[in-house]
Each structure stands twice: as structure tokens, then as C-alpha cells.
Amino acid sequence: MSIFHNEPWIQLHDFGREMDRLMQARKQQQVAAASAWTPAVDIHEADDHYRLTMDIPGVAPEGIQVSMEDGVLEISGERKTVDAENEKRDYSRRERFQGAFRRSFKLPETADDTEISAATSHGVLEVVIKKRAALQPRRIPVTH
């Protein structure tokens, strides 16, 4: 018959070590999430155009690239730190994302890739893509 010794302090120590591991993994996930951000986007379709509105506060207009290729609209840019001194600080909480972003949108065939405009105002980028004139079926008269 074997004797089993119950060691509650060892189990408590193992539990504490496992909790530390889980907390460290959570912290690494938060750091990874803070280094990459994806701006929120709303897309609206009107009769004659599409309007894409993107929240990009703190991104300078010169730092935004909007391009269109093969029916895909791509918007990219980078939000940089405002003050180099802020980089040296040890934050207890940091929720404002920094770094580069890239968003791509497949546009419908009705989008006119030659009629695109982009403008920023108060941290919001607005991209307007005109629609192509729809081909209307035409009636062909039959003569006799």
C-alpha cells in the first residue's frame, strides 16, 4: 500500500505560479493589441455614390495614403506619438493606440475608380466614390 502525502502549500505555490503565467500572457496580449490598431469605418451607399467615413484622430493628413487598384480601395497611415517625452514615461494605463494601420475594401463593380475624393476634418477621413452611370436597357424598335 502506498502512502499519499497531501501538501497544500505546494499546491498553493503551483496555483500562484499558474496565475502569474496567465497574467503575463494577458499582459503580452494587451501590449500586442496596443501596438496595432484598426480605425473604425462606416460605409454608406447613396443613389450616386459610396461614402466611407473613418475615425483617425491624431493622424496628420500628410500621413494618410488612399489608393485604388483592381477594384480594391486601400487606406493606410500612421499615428505617431505627439511628444518624444511621452515615450520615456512609464504609463500605468495606456489606451490611445499608436502605429501604422491599413484597411482594404473590395468595391462593387458600380464604383467609378476615376471619381474618388478624400478629405479629413476633425480626425475623420471621408472618402467619396462616385458610382458609374447604370446601363439602362434600351428598347429597339422593330420595323416592317
**Can you give the pTM of this predicted structure?**
0.65
Q: How far apart are CA 38 and CA 96, in angstroms?
A: 12
For the chain, how many structural domains are there in total? 2
What's the mean per-residue pLDDT of the chain?
83
* Cross-strand bridge partners of residue 124: 55, 121
Calculate ∠ Cα 115-121-122, nearest 5°: 155
Quote the pLDDT of residue 42. 96
Instruction: Show the domain range for 23.
Output: 8-37
Q: Edge-to-edge strands of the sheet including 49-55? A: 41-45, 49-55, 124-131, 111-121
Quote the pLDDT of residue 72. 93
Q: How confident is the model at residue 21 (pLDDT cuts 50, 70, 90)?
A: confident
The dihedral through the CA atoms of 108, 113, 115, 119 has a sign that is: positive
45 with 75, same domain: the answer is yes
Instruction: Examine the pLDDT at 83 and tell me if it is beyond 70.
Output: no
33 with 59, same domain: the answer is no
Q: Residues for the chain: how many in total?
A: 144
Q: Is residue 125 part of a domain?
A: yes
18 with 50, same domain: the answer is no
Q: How confident is the model at residue 67 (pLDDT cuts 50, 70, 90)?
A: very high
62 with 103, same domain: the answer is yes
Quote the pLDDT of residue 15. 79
Instruction: Examine the pLDDT at 87 and tell me if it is beyond 80.
Output: no
How large is the average pLDDT for residues 100-113? 91
Q: Which of 119, 107, 115, 131 is nearest to 43 (CA)?
A: 107
The dihedral through the CA atoms of 15, 16, 22, 26 has a sign that is: positive
